[in-house]
């Protein structure tokens, strides 16, 4: 993945003031590591009509803060990393 983000942003027009990229790279460690043996094929909904089966991880013991933000009209999930750090997803 190294260098791919820089290459993908070269063709962005100057008029674009904000661009959200679906890329994340970090070197943190999860506070609660997922057990790969708990990965199973589950339904992932692409939209209201299309569903595909993909490998999904799950762990009922994992700590996950989750909520809805009505101002942003999105869901927010926070996963804790070691060293008093978290990663936050806006969905």
Domains located in the chain, CATH noted? 25-90 (2.30.39.10)
**13 or 63, greater pLDDT:** 63
Pull the structure tokens for residue 36.
């790969």
**85 or 67, greater pLDDT:** 67
Phi and psi (nearest 5°) for 77?
A: -125, 135
**31 or 67, greater pLDDT:** 67
Pull the structure tokens for residue 50.
């299309």
pLDDT tens per residue across span 3-49: 555 555 566 666 655 555 555 556 778 787 788 888 999 999 988 89
Pull the structure tokens for residue 64.
């996950």
Q: What is the per-residue pLDDT for 15?
A: 62
Q: What is the per-residue pLDDT for 10?
A: 60
**60 or 9, greater pLDDT:** 60
């Amino acid at each position: 993945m190294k260098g791919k983000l820089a290459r993908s942003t070269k063709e962005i027009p100057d008029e674009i003031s904000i661009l959200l990229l679906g890329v994340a790279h970090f070197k943190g460690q999860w506070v609660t590591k997922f057990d790969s043996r708990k990965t199973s094929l589950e339904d992932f909904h692409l939209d209201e009509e299309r569903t595909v089966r993909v490998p999904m991880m799950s762990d009922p013991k994992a700590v996950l803060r989750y909520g809805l933000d009505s101002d942003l009209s999105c869901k927010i999930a926070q996963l804790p990393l070691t060293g008093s750090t978290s990663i936050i997803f806006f969905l």
